[in-house]
Amino acid sequence: IGTNPEETIRLPSAINKSQTLEDLICSIYPRLQEFGTVTTSYLTECTILSTHNDDVSSINTRALEMMPGKEIVYLAADILSKEDSDDWTITNRYLTKYINSLDPPGLPAFKLMLKVGCPTMLLRNIAPKDGLCNGTRLMVVRCVTRLIEAMILIGEKAKNLVFIPRISLSPTSGELPFTMTRRQFSLRLSFAMTINKSQG
């Protein structure tokens, strides 16, 4: 901070100094391990902000593990574009297992893990009139095979129940040497989020 390396900065006593990831999660989400703790107001009063997607991902994974309840896993379906799937140099070089392991920005994870009551964030505009926009925070209410029922946490449509379907998404950036489409629920966990995403 500042330009003087000799300068000492005193942090306010209100700033929590966590030694482990679990300490951090418990200080922001107290009693997360107890049944009945997670409510809409509990999830809207606080969140963890980070600058890196990798840190956000590890915090979200650990927080979900700490939360009680049965974990529900949704696997995506990844396919290459018609042109790329016909090109044997691409299909031989990039195996399905490798494509499934990719986590491009703006796409949901191949393996989406949720629990009833966990906070999530919508990654695409599905129905803006109903409050389902990119960046909307939701709380999972019910999980079935082809739908996720959730409650909107923020905005004018807060407390409304909505249904999230699986949709086909393609990465927006051209950093991949092929074109792929992932069919998955357009959600990510949001115990933690990046600072950029929180500004939306």
Please report whether residue 4 resides in a domain.
no
Taking each helix axis as running N to C, give the angle between helix 21-28 and helix 53-66, from 0 to 180 degrees, rounded to the nearest 10.
Answer: 70
Within a domain: 11: no
158: nearest Cα among 186, 143, 136: 136
Assess if residue 10 is contained within a domain.
no
CA angle 173, 174, 177 (to 5 degrees): 140
- Residue 22 is predicted with a pLDDT of 92
Burial tier of 185 (Cβ tally within 10 Å: 0-12, 13-18, 19+): buried
Do the domain assignments include residue 144? yes
For tokens 């600058």, name the residue. 51
Quote the number of domains for the chain. 1
Could you tell me if residue 16 is inside a domain? no
Asked, for residue 73, whether it belongs to a domain, the answer is: yes
Q: Is residue 100 part of a domain?
A: yes
Residue 146 forms part of a structural domain: yes
Tally of residues, the chain = 200
**Residues 142-186 pLDDT 10s:** 999 889 999 999 888 999 999 999 999 888 766 777 788 899 999
pTM: 0.82
By residue range, what is the domain housing residue 86? 21-197
Q: Is the pLDDT of residue 88 over 80?
A: no
How far apart, in Å, are the Cα atoms of 147 and each of 26, 88, 97, 119, 186?
A: 30, 35, 25, 16, 11
Tell me the one-letter amino acid at 166: R
pLDDT tens track for 31-87:
999 888 888 889 988 889 999 888 999 999 999 999 999 999 999 998 887 776 667
